[in-house]
């Protein structure tokens, strides 16, 4: 007989992670992954250590079946799950993909029963038992979801869960389908259900009121053995519980082990953001650009002395694959600026340092973001140390684009004093331009960030492009450029970033 272990000692507890980025996550309005992207994401999720990957809804289309089947055949460490309505044809579509687990669901709340499947409570109980028995006749793992559990009559929810348990469900999912629960209620619901069923419980929370992560953690604290999450909190409407946040709360605050290799969290988040086209807000917890960034003088000063002063301490940037950054802006302090300059062997005197800080505050006070390249230029102008060394000097630049033309860019530049030309194509003119410059570059770098802001309104607006690149050693360099032609400004920003990388390397070699 399957047994749930009630444990109050979190240190001994382990929770399994069920990732539904490729199913509920892909239901985010406007998002659609290609098969190649889905396979790549599945591979990264498996390396991250998630226990289950919900790869899709095979009955929805032939191409979805093809993708789920492909993921199931990669041979990943994670178990692969397919979603199925409570009908045999859907289950067969999952089985046809060779998944490890079938996830069957049925609406249980009155509003969903009446308006979607038009079934009575008795019919729902009968369908539940039959479909789970059908799945278990064919495959060892069956998850059952009582859809809209949190708006379901409490006694009826118990009855459905008991029917699922008796029929052989290996785990029962309790979805807060429209995100209307609060942590206290979730804790009570899970505690109550656990006293009626033998099989473990799983939780799936939506974020309509911003409580998905809190509700997920409450469910786990009440004894749920598994949580459903998505990368970057993607999902229907306001999304699902965010994987990185839920995992880090359990690991760092609650002391519950998830088995996740947390240092992969930021890279996975960035990959999914790129493939989904959903950018990560800088203030997103755990993975956002600002999660470990410090600008204000008091904070930066404290963090330079001891990082735990103004960071959680129980969660460090290294733990999640992030980097601590001191940023420049109108709140910047002398300590941070001195540290940033000393890292590249620029040593201003006290009066010079004051002048540099004043200039940074003045420029950023006008709303302009200050990059590393800007900082060194300011420091050079104050200390008179500009060495003028630029490894790449742009001479000629041309881009061809149109509705029936593959965007192509050609660049001619002096690279270390030698004339070089290079052409490349891209998905658009900016991509082509950056590819051409990177092709010509003596350094191997990866584009980490690309941002365009319009400085004024209208189609003749000045565009301000900010770029960050990362070298093979993991150091990042950011630079910017402005102009009324954003393709040219992008090319110049990339060249500025590469020149900055060169300069810092030279400065480190000859301090
Ligand atoms: O939100 C929901 O209820 C779902 C089910 C399919 C589990 O996504
Ligand atoms: Zn959902």
Tens-binned pLDDT, residue by residue, of the chain (511 aa): 343 344 446 667 899 999 999 999 999 999 999 999 999 999 999 999 999 999 999 999 999 999 999 999 999 999 999 999 999 999 999 999 999 999 999 999 999 999 999 999 999 999 999 999 999 999 999 999 999 999 999 999 999 999 999 999 999 999 999 999 999 999 999 999 999 999 999 999 999 999 999 999 999 999 999 999 999 999 999 999 999 999 999 999 999 999 999 999 999 999 999 999 999 999 999 999 999 999 888 888 889 899 999 999 999 999 999 999 888 888 999 999 999 888 878 889 999 999 999 999 988 887 777 888 888 888 888 887 655 567 888 999 999 999 888 999 999 999 888 999 999 999 999 999 999 999 988 889 989 888 887 666 666 667 788 888 999 888 888 888 888 888 998 999 999 899 889 888 887 777 6
Sign of CA pseudo-dihedral 295, 301, 305, 308: negative
Cβ neighbours, 10 Å, residue 457: 7
- Tokens matching residue 116: 């979607």
- In this structure, the residue with its CA closest to atom 8 of ligand 1 is 24
d(CA 334, CA 353) in angstroms, rounded, equals: 7
Ligand nearest to the CA of 241: 2
CA of 203 to the centre of ligand 2 (A): 10
CA distances from 346 to 335, 386, 478 (A): 14, 11, 18
Identify residues whose C-beta is under 5 A from ligand 2, the ion.
Answer: 24
Given a contact cutoff of 8 angstroms between Cβ atoms, the answer to whether 207 and 229 are in contact is: no
The HSE-up count of residue 254 (CA atoms within 13 Å, CB side) is 26
- In this structure, the residue with its CA closest to atom 6 of ligand 1 is 105
Ligand nearest to the CA of 83: 1
Closest by CA to 173, choosing from 157, 195, 185, 156, is 157
Given a contact cutoff of 8 angstroms between Cβ atoms, the answer to whether 265 and 48 are in contact is: yes
Closest by CA to 4, choosing from 176, 227, 171, is 171
Cβ neighbours, 10 Å, residue 45: 28
Ligand nearest to the CA of 230: 2
- Tokens matching residue 189: 């619901």
Pocket-testing residue among 175, 215, 226, 241, ligand 1, by greatest number of atoms within 8 A of Cβ = 175
Directed axis angle between helix 297-305 and helix 334-342, to 10°? 50
CA distances from 424 to 399, 415, 428, 430 (A): 10, 17, 11, 11
- Tokens matching residue 505: 């390397």
The whole-number pLDDT of residue 385 equals: 65
Q: Domains (ranges, CATH) in the chain?
A: 16-276 (3.20.20.70), 293-383 (no CATH), 392-509 (3.30.160.270)
Q: Which atom of ligand 1 is nearest to the CA of 83?
A: 6
CA of 200 to the centre of ligand 2 (A): 19
- In this structure, the residue with its CA closest to atom 2 of ligand 1 is 177
Pocket-testing residue among 204, 208, 215, ligand 1, by greatest number of atoms within 8 A of Cβ = 204
């Amino acid at each position: 007989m399957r047994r749930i272990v009630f444990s109050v000692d979190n240190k001994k507890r382990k929770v399994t992670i069920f990732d539904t980025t490729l199913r509920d996550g892909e239901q985010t309005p406007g998002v659609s992954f290609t098969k190649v992207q889905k396979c790549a994401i599945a591979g990264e999720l498996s390396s991250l250590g998630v226990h289950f990957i919900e790869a899709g809804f095979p009955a929805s289309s032939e191409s979805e079946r093809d993708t789920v089947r492909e993921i199931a055949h990669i041979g990943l460490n994670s178990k692969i799950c397919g979603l199925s309505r409570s009908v045999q044809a859907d289950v067969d579509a999952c089985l046809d993909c060779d998944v490890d687990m079938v996830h069957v669901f049925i609406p249980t709340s009155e509003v969903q029963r009446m308006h979607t499947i038009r079934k009575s409570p008795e019919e729902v109980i009968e369908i539940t038992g039959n479909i789970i028995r059908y799945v278990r006749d064919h495959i060892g793992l069956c998850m059952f979801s009582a859809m809209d559990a949190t708006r379901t009559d409490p006694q009826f929810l118990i009855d459905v869960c008991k029917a699922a348990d008796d029929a052989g469900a290996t785990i029962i999912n309790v979805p807060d389908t429209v995100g209307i629960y609060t942590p206290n209620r979730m804790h009570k619901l899970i505690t109550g259900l656990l006293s009626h069923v033998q099989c473990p419980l799983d939780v799936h929370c939506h974020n309509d009121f911003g409580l998905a992560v809190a509700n997920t953690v409450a469910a786990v604290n009440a004894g749920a053995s598994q949580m459903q999450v998505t990368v970057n909190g993607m999902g229907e409407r306001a999304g699902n519980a965010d994987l990185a946040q839920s995992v880090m709360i359990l690991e760092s605050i609650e002391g519950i082990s998830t088995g996740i290799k947390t240092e992969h969290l930021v890279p996975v988040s960035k990959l999914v953001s790129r493939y989904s086209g959903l950018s990560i807000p800088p203030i997103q917890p755990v993975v956002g650009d600002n999660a470990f960034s410090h600008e204000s003088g008091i904070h930066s000063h404290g963090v330079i002395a001891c990082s735990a002063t103004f960071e959680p301490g129980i969660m460090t940037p290294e733990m999640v694959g992030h980097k601590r950054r001191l940023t420049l802006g109108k709140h910047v302090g002398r300590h941070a600026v001195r540290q940033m300059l000393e890292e590249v062997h620029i040593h201003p005197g006290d009066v010079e340092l004051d002048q540099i800080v004043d200039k940074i505050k003045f420029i950023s006070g006008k709303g302009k973001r200050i990059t590393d390249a800007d900082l060194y230029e300011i420091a050079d102008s104050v200390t008179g140390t500009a060495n003028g060394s630029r490894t790449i000097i742009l001479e000629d630049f041309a881009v061809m684009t149109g509705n029936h033309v593959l965007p192509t860019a050609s660049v001619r530049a002096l690279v270390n004093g030698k004339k070089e030309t290079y052409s490349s194509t891209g998905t658009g003119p900016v991509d082509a331009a950056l590819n051409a410059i990177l092709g010509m570059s003596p350094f191997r770098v990866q584009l980490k960030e690309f941002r365009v802001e319009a400085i004024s309104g209208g189609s003749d607006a000045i565009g301000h492009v900010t770029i960050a690149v990362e070298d093979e050693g993991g150091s990042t360099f950011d630079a910017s450029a402005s102009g009324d032609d954003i393709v040219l400004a992008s090319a110049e920003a990339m060249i500025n970033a590469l020149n900055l990388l060169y300069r810092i390397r030279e400065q480190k070699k000859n301090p």
